[in-house]
Amino acid sequence: MARRAAVAKRYDTALADHVGILRWAPEVLHARHKYVILTAARDALAWHLKSEGVPTLSHYREPLSRLALFDGGTENPGDFPHAEAIAAQALSLPIYAQLSEAEVERIIETVLRFFE
């Protein structure tokens, strides 16, 4: 958990001016098993990262209100604007304890290059 927290802090510092960052309350101890950023250019950024060998995932492509599991799918677009906006922009960057400092820097540089 400590290593993932360190990676997340490095991402926070380097990327905050370019993407939205989902932040946790400082008093919450979080495992940081995902590092989710928000960008209107999610799909283009994901393609750019993939082309550079950086794996990403869009874990939450649909808001929960649209999933059949939660009896969703009948709402009108716009019923849950915040959830819909996050679902359209959320992209997870690699965050695991085995990431080396060099790999973290490479991921950061690749993201920043996209926004140049």
Q: Compute the average pLDDT of residues 14-24.
A: 86
Structure tokens at 88: 């359209």
CA distances to 57, 75, 87 from 66, in Å: 19, 7, 11
pLDDT in tens, 101-114: 999 999 999 999 99
**What's the CA angle centered on 43, arms 81 and 64, to 5 degrees?**
35
Both structure tokens of 102:
């060099």
Task: Please name the residue ranges forming H helices in 1-116.
Answer: 2-15, 42-51, 81-89, 101-114
Q: 90, 43, 87, 42: which is closest to 65 by C-alpha?
A: 87
What domains, with CATH codes, occur in the chain? 2-114 (3.90.1150.10)
DSSP-derived secondary structure letter, 94:
P
pLDDT on residue 35: 93
Using 50, 70 and 90 to split pLDDT, how confident is the model at 73? low
pTM above 0.95, yes or no: no
- In this prediction, residue 71 carries a pLDDT of 63
Segment 13-30 mean pLDDT? 82
